[in-house]
Amino acid sequence: MLKLARGTTEIRSSQATFLVKTIKYFVLPFCAFVQGKILKVRWRHHADRRAFNWDWKSCNFNRVAAVNLLLSKFDDPIYLEIGCADNALFDSVSCTKKVGVDPASGGTMKMTSDEFFFQNETEFDVIFIDGLHTYEQVRRDVINALKFSHVNSWIALHDMLPRNWVEHHVPCISHGAWTGDVWKVAFELSKTEGIDFKILKIDRGVGIFKVIKKDVVMADFTKELRGQEFSYFYENLNSLPVTEWNTARQWLS
C-alpha cells in the first residue's frame, strides 16, 4: 500500500516537472515569439529592410573587458553600474568599491537610476550606464553621471549599435537583443565639448568617454533626434566615432 502511494507521488512529481519544463521551454518562448510577430505587424510602418551584419560573438571582446580596462587606470577605483540584471558584468568587475543600481534585480541598490542620483553624494571614477534603453532615460543618466564624476573619470554606455530596426525599436518589440534608441545619445556625445568619446565595435556597441574638462554640458539635439527611427542611425552612422577594439585599446591606454 505504502509502495503504491509512493509510486503515485513519484508519478505526480515527474508529471509536474514535465509540465513546468513544457511551459518554460515551449509555451513561454512560443507566446513570446507570437507576441513578437504581432508587435512587428503593429509597428510595420517603422520597418526597414536595411541591417548591419555585425557578429558580436566573433569579436571575442565584451563590455567586461572594456570596463576592467577602464578600472585598471585607477589605484582603488569607485565604480557605479546602472542596470545590473543578473550581475553578469557587476560580479565580473574586480574592484571592491562598487555600487549597482537596479529596481528589479542585481546590484546593491534596489531603485531606479533617477531615484539613486537624487540621493547620491559619491563621486565615481568609472560609471557604466545600462538601465532602461530609451533615449530620454539614457540622456538623463548621462547628465546625472557627469554630475557625479570628475576630470579623468570614464563613463561607458552599453547597446549603442543596433543591427536592425527591431533591435532599435522603442517600445521594445524584440524577442532577442534590445538596444533601444540609446544610439541617439551617441550623436550628442560626439559633439559635446570637454569629453573624448568613442564607440567600441564590440558587444552591441560600448560607448566610452573620458571627462577632460570640468562642468561638461552635453550637446542637446533632442528636437532633431526624438522622433527618429532606425533609418536615421543607418544613414548617419559614418559620422559617429566607431572604433575597432585594437585601435580603441591604444586610445584607452
Ligand X SMILES: C[S@@+](CC[C@H](N)C(=O)[O-])C[C@H]1O[C@@H](n2cnc3c(N)ncnc32)[C@H](O)[C@@H]1O
Question: CB 170: neighbour CB atoms within 10 A?
Answer: 19
Q: Is residue 181 at the binding interface for ligand X, with CB under 6 A as the rule?
A: no
| Phi, psi angle pair for 37, to nearest 5° | -65, -45
Per-residue contact track with ligand X, 33 to 72, x per CB under 6 A? Answer: ------------------------------x---------
Q: Is residue 104 at the binding interface for ligand X, with CB under 6 A as the rule?
A: yes
Q: Is residue 177 at the binding interface for ligand X, with CB under 6 A as the rule?
A: no
Q: Which helix (H) or strand (E) holds 98?
A: strand 97-101
Among 66, 98, 99, 113, indicate the residue that binds ligand X (CB under 6 A).
Answer: 113
CB 218 within 8 A of CB 146: yes
User: Which of these ranges, 102-110, 167-175, 184-192, 244-252, lies near ligand X under the rule CB under 6 A?
Assistant: 102-110
Nearer to ligand X, 45 or 56 (CB): 56
Question: CB 15: neighbour CB atoms within 10 A?
Answer: 10
List, in order, residues 6 or more apart from 126 with CB less than 8 Å away: 67, 70, 71, 74, 77, 78, 79, 80, 153, 154, 155, 156
Could you give the CA distance from residue 206 to residue 219 in angstroms, rounded to a whole number? 19
Q: Which residue is nearest to ligand X (CB)?
A: 83
Q: Is residue 132 at the binding interface for ligand X, with CB under 6 A as the rule?
A: yes
Residue 142 Cβ vs ligand X, minimum distance, rounded to whole Å: 13
User: Which of these ranges, 11-19, 128-136, 166-174, 241-249, lies near ligand X under the rule CB under 6 A?
Assistant: 128-136
Nearer to ligand X, 122 or 253 (CB): 122
Residue 16 Cβ vs ligand X, minimum distance, rounded to whole Å: 29
Of 139, 220, 145, 141, nearest to 183 (Cα)?
139
Q: Is residue 89 at the binding interface for ligand X, with CB under 6 A as the rule?
A: yes
Q: Is residue 85 at the binding interface for ligand X, with CB under 6 A as the rule?
A: yes
Helical H segments across the chain, by residue range:
2-22, 28-42, 63-71, 113-119, 135-147, 165-168, 183-189, 222-225, 230-236, 245-252
- Local structure of residue 196 (DSSP, 8 states): E
- Residue 31 CA, chain-centre distance (Å), reads 25
Residue 144 Cβ vs ligand X, minimum distance, rounded to whole Å: 11
Residue 214 Cβ vs ligand X, minimum distance, rounded to whole Å: 26
Residue 88 Cβ vs ligand X, minimum distance, rounded to whole Å: 3
Nearer to ligand X, 134 or 190 (CB): 134
Number of residues in contact with ligand X under rule CB under 6 A: 19
Q: Which three cell numbers stand for residue 4?
A: 503504491
> What letter represents residue 187's amino acid?
F
Q: Is residue 112 at the binding interface for ligand X, with CB under 6 A as the rule?
A: yes
Residues that bind ligand X (CB under 6 A): 63, 81-85, 88-89, 101-105, 112-113, 130-132, 137
